[in-house]
Amino acid sequence: MKKKIIAYNRVEKPVLDDLKKKYDVRFFKNIDTKNDPEFLEHLSESEGIIGLELPVDAELLDNGPNLKVISNVSVGYNNLDLDEMTKRQIMGTNTPGVLTDTVADTVFGILAATARRIPELDQFVKNGEWQTEAVGSEHYGINIHHKTLGIIGMGRIGKAIAQRGHFGFDMDILYHSRTRKPDAEQTFNAAYRTLDQLLEESDFVCMITPLTPETEGMIGKREFQKMKKSAIFINGSRGKTIVEQDLIEALKNGDITAAGLDVFENEPIEPDNPLLNMKNVVTTPHIGSSTHETELAMSELAAENLEAGLNGKRPPNLVNPAAFEKIE
């Protein structure tokens, strides 16, 4: 009899088709996981879950007594209650590495689009408002090259963003993270700063930390007021790493010049969110890793993690090692 697994929200078709050959797979998308009878029935017998943004808490785990592994198709895993999973010897995994360059490309693209006001001026042209050969100063953007880029979170993606800024745009790189990064300091001439120092000195502030209890709400009113009035804020991490209402007020008050956002406090963003009516805000729908090549690579790695866990092996990207130690 084939082992039962659940696929949730996003698993690329070639990977899903391959899993279906080996396992009894049921795919669910954007359902009420606490009340959907088909989901709960399959969960009660499933040994593994693979997918994106499934909230995993004690209640879900109570309904999945046979679970061995939960494999996220993402680098983030704030949707997993790791303490509860570890108590029950359930392994959690993620997909780091394969999306690093893709996310860094996205973040830097948003930075460039915000600095040069590209979405706003694209609409300006399409609306037929371009009436003279040369636009006036009211449509000017801001230079990127030779400016100071402050990166909050110098992990794999932070380093990839630093690489683009340092080598591509001759930017001075500042960073703030839990630990010093000698390799980044040597390779990109990056300088460590306290958070306040980084905010005060940077022309562009890029948020790329994971969402943890320590980083939730890390950037709020006080931090926005620390930034230069000419600063541009970019968030490519998670929406809840900042206080979104404080960002809105900072933009309204002119505490900072503009913002580029790939993530939001609530996703999808509410249609009445004031950010959507601000010309100095560039918004994208959490597309950091959303290319055909990268999404497929993430699904493949997530499936590798899943199958290792199902077979009692240590997954290559285990985020709660204590769960495997308990199994051993």
User: What does residue 253 show for φ and ψ, rounded to 5 degrees?
Assistant: -85, -5
* Cα separation values, 2 from 38, 47, 62, Å: 18, 11, 22
| Residue 165: inside a domain | yes
Q: Is the pLDDT of residue 47 over 90?
A: yes
Say if 173 falls within a structural domain: yes
Burial of 227 (0-12, 13-18, 19+ CB in 10 A): buried
- Expressed as residue numbers, the domain containing 131 is 100-283
Q: Is residue 31 pLDDT above 90, yes or no?
A: yes
Token look-up 């997909």 returns 95
Residues 146 and 32 occupy one common structural domain: no
- Residue 325 has a pLDDT of 85
Same-domain pairing of 121 and 255: yes
* Crossing angle (nearest 10°) for helices 156-163 and 100-115: 50
Mark whether 158 and 276 lie in a shared domain. Answer: yes
Is the CB of residue 80 less than 8 Å from the CB of residue 319?
Answer: yes
How many domains does the structure of the chain reveal? 2
Regarding whether 203 and 107 lie in a shared domain, the answer is: yes
Residue 107 and residue 182 in one domain? yes
Do 44 and 158 fall into the same domain? no
232 and 112 both lie in a single domain: yes
Does the pLDDT value for residue 327 go beyond 80? Answer: no
Do the domain assignments include residue 288?
no
Does the residue 169 lie in any domain?
A: yes
pLDDT in tens, 173-225: 999 999 999 999 999 999 999 999 999 999 999 999 999 999 999 999 999 99
Angle at 268 between CA 258 and CA 6, to 5 degrees: 135
The pTM of this model reads: 0.92
246 and 138 in a single domain? The answer is yes
Q: pLDDT per residue over 67-119, tens digit each? A: 999 999 999 999 999 999 999 999 999 999 999 999 999 999 999 999 999 99
Model confidence at 326: pLDDT above 80:
no
Q: Of the listed 42, 164, 238, 300, which one is catalytic? A: 238
Closest to 236 measured CA to CA, from 179, 298, 174, 282: 282
**CA dist., res. 20 & res. 42, Å (int):** 15
Q: What is the pLDDT of residues 130-177, one digit of tens each?
A: 999 999 999 999 999 999 999 999 999 999 999 999 999 999 999 999
Determine contact, residues 162/181, Cβ cutoff 8 Å.
no
**Inside any domain, residue 48:** yes
Q: Are strands 4-8 and 191-192 parallel, antiparallel or unpaired?
A: unpaired
Residue-wise burial string across 194-211, b where 16 or more C-beta atoms lie within 10 A, e elsewhere: eeeebbebbbbbbbbbbb
Q: Within this chain, do residues 21 and 156 fall inside the same structural domain, yes or no?
A: no
Please check whether residues 211 and 109 belong to one and the same domain: yes
Residue 328 has a pLDDT of: 66
Q: Clarify whether 267 is annotated catalytic.
A: yes
Q: Positive or negative, the Cα torsion across 295, 297, 300, 304?
A: negative
Task: Answer yes or no: do 179 and 203 share one domain.
Answer: yes
48-51, strands of its sheet edge to edge: 24-28, 4-8, 48-51, 69-72, 91-93
Active-site residue, 222 included: no
Active-site residue, selected from the candidate residues 38, 129, 214, 267: 267
pLDDT tens figures, 233-250: 999 999 999 999 999 999
* 195 within domain boundaries: yes
Give me the sign of the Cα torsion angle 246, 248, 254, 258.
Answer: positive
Angstrom CA distances, 224 to 175, 201, 218, stand at: 17, 12, 11
Report whether 180 contacts 192 (CB < 8 A).
yes
Q: Of 176, 201, 286, 300, which is the active-site residue?
A: 286
Task: Please give the helix or strand (H or E) that residue 261 lies within, else none.
Answer: strand 258-261
Instruction: Give me the residue label for tokens 């460590």.
Output: 192
Q: For residue 27, tell me if it sits in a domain.
A: yes
Same domain for 54 and 147, yes or no, is no
What are φ and ψ of residue 238, in 5° steps? -140, 150
What CATH number is attached to the domain comprising 83? 3.40.50.720
Nearest Cα neighbor of 284 from 257, 259, 316 is 259
DSSP code at position 241: G
Which stretches within 63-99 are classed as H helix?
Answer: 82-87
